Amino acid sequence: MPTTCLALIPARSGSLRVPGKNVRLLAGHPLIAYTIAGARASGLFARIIVSTNSEATRDIARYYGAEAPFLRPEAYATATSPDIEWIEHALAALPDRYDAFSILRPTSPFRQPQTLERAWQQFLDTPGADSIRAVELCHEHPGKMWTIDGPFMQPLLDQSALAVPWHDGQYQALPKVYVQNSALEIAWTRVVAQSHTRGGRVIAPFFTDAAEGFSIDHPADWALAENYLAAGQMRLPPVDRPPYTP
């Protein structure tokens, strides 16, 4: 029997850093439209579900071809709500059961259908993993990060045993460290029930390439995205319908 996968797109309203970012227009369409379009074009998902606390976002999601069969409770839609709350809510609200789920955040609009296909194949080819998560090389190495206590500061990471502390070394000489981005996660659904986490204990890396991992989290990121598009340096998944009109 084929392995079934559910796409979960989190789109709460109330973003503090980029107000209304999930439905803000980028190249004529609401930001969330590109995540829905990429998920649909991949052909991987049994259902594409948007979890939102907003009726307006729900209408937009449905227009672009996703399902929004429920509204997320406000208690699970705050700026500090952990992801596991809305994930458990979504899985419990659906009558059918799926083998796996993929979290696709609207803040990664340059994620292509081919990105999803590559990630799904890697997930299936990594039987020991509870989940896979998108990562990329850190541009700001944690070995050069500090904590401050009054007038003094200490390295974030203990480097007392090193002949040359990382904060005194060149970036190229430091061990490679990766940071997660918001492009995608895929996990077995059983992991949620067994560990009350979204990724389990054994997590494999999915290495994103260039624009795949670009995330819009700050106003400056939005300006960069518009500039990249204007210069033809990035491309969005094609949207197969006219722009949404309320």
Q: What is the pLDDT of residue 1?
A: 55
Q: What is the pLDDT of residue 19?
A: 74
Q: What is the pLDDT of residue 45?
A: 98
pTM, 2 dp: 0.93
Token pair, residue 56, equals 């307006």
What is the average pLDDT value for the chain, to the nearest integer?
94
Residues 6 or more apart from 16 whose CB is under 8 A from it?
A: 79
Kindly list the distances between the CA atom of residue 62 and the CA atoms of 31, 37, 238, in Å, as whole numbers in the listed order: 14, 12, 17
Q: ∠159-177-146 over CA atoms, to 5°?
A: 45
Please say if the pLDDT value at position 17 is more than 90. no
DSSP string, 116-181: HHHHHHHHHT-TT-SEEEEEEE-SS-GGG-EEEETTEEEESS--TT-SS-GGGS-GGGSPP-EEEE
**Which of 108, 109, 156 is CA-nearest to residue 133?**
108
Q: What is the pLDDT of residue 235?
A: 95
Q: What is the pLDDT of residue 78?
A: 87
Asked if 216 and 115 count as a contact pair (C-beta separation under 8 A), the reply is no
Using one digit for the tens of pLDDT, what is the confidence trace for 197-221?
999 999 999 999 989 999 998 999 9
Q: What percent of the chain has pLDDT over 70?
A: 98
Residue span(s) of the chain under CATH 3.90.550.10 come to 5-135+179-230
Asked if 142 and 175 count as a contact pair (C-beta separation under 8 A), the reply is no
Q: What is the pLDDT of residue 16?
A: 64
Task: Please give the sequence-ordered ranges of beta strands (E in DSSP) within 58-106, or none if there are none.
Answer: 100-103
Q: What is the CATH number of domain 5-135+179-230?
A: 3.90.550.10
The amino acid that residue 15 corresponds to is S
Bridge partners, 25 (sequence order): 30
Q: What is the pLDDT of residue 14?
A: 73
Q: What is the pLDDT of residue 20?
A: 84
